[in-house]
Amino acid sequence: MPLIVDGRIEDFRSFEDFAVKHQHFKENAKIFCKKPLRKVERSGTLYVTQREHATVTQDDETITVLGSDDATTCHIIVLRHTGRFDFHAIIFQSILLSR
44-64 mean pLDDT:
83
Q: Report the percentage of the chain scoring pLDDT > 90.
A: 7
- pLDDT confidence of residue 85: 60
Quickly state the pLDDT bin for 98 (edges 50, 70, 90).
very low
Quickly state the pLDDT bin for 91 (edges 50, 70, 90).
low
CB within 8 Å of 74: residues ≥ 6 apart: 50, 91, 92, 93, 94
Distance between CA atoms of residues 69 and 26, nearest Å = 20
